[in-house]
Amino acid sequence: MGAVYFYQMTRSPLSATLPTLLMKSLGAGWRVLVRAPNPEAQARIDDLLWSYDAASFLPHGVDETAGRQAILIGAGETPLGGREAVVSVLGAEIAAPEAEVAARGMILFDGHDDGAVAHARTQWRALTGAGVAAQYWSDAEGGWQMKAEA
């Protein structure tokens, strides 16, 4: 059974946090699904992964074009498809059944956006209520610190 880690981004923007977590995931040998809520958000993440660092490359693709790429950027209900990790960005959902089979789930949310924080709290209650192990991480005090665990 996997665990879902919630990352409240207050100091580190998505453009820094997502590539860092993806590099760590690939380093662990995981294939990753990055789930965005819609095609526009999917395109935003695709652009980010192409441009975040000129000296680095994260092998990725969007939906069916991803094929054998280590990172698949999917929208909405894109299934895990044998990938070991799933990352939720910009409010996309992770369901309890997939969190239980994935090695790791990660929910990234903007700590300055009240709506995003409220949505993350709803996801926390739903996942932990279903028996999924969860950790809450914050960078509000500088550096990532675990603030809660269930």
Task: Enumerate the β-bridge partners of residue 136.
Answer: 6, 148
% of the chain surpassing 90 pLDDT: 72
Q: By C-alpha distance, which of 8, 75, 64, 10 is closest to 36?
A: 75
- The pLDDT assigned to 57 comes to 80
User: Which residue would you say has higher pLDDT here, 55 or 148?
Assistant: 148
Across the chain, mean pLDDT equals 91
Residue-range domain boundaries for the chain: 3-149
In 35-65, which positions are buried (b, 16+ CB within 10 angstroms) versus exposed (e)? bbeeeebbebbbebbeebeeeeebebbbeee
pLDDT digits (tens, 9 = 90+) for 138-149: 999 989 999 999
- The pLDDT assigned to 5 comes to 98
Query: What kind of fold does domain 3-149 have according to CATH?
Result: Rossmann fold (3.40.50)
pLDDT digits (tens, 9 = 90+) for 21-38: 999 999 999 999 999 999
Alpha-carbon gap, residue 104 to 59, rounded angstroms: 19
Which ranges of 28-142 would DSSP assign to H, the alpha helix?
A: 39-51, 96-101, 114-129
The pTM assigned to this predicted structure is 0.93
3-state SS record for 98-113: HHHHCCEEEEEEECCC
- The pLDDT assigned to 127 comes to 97
pLDDT digits (tens, 9 = 90+) for 60-101: 878 666 667 899 999 877 778 889 999 999 999 999 999 999
1 has pLDDT over 70: no
Alpha-carbon gap, residue 128 to 135, rounded angstroms: 10
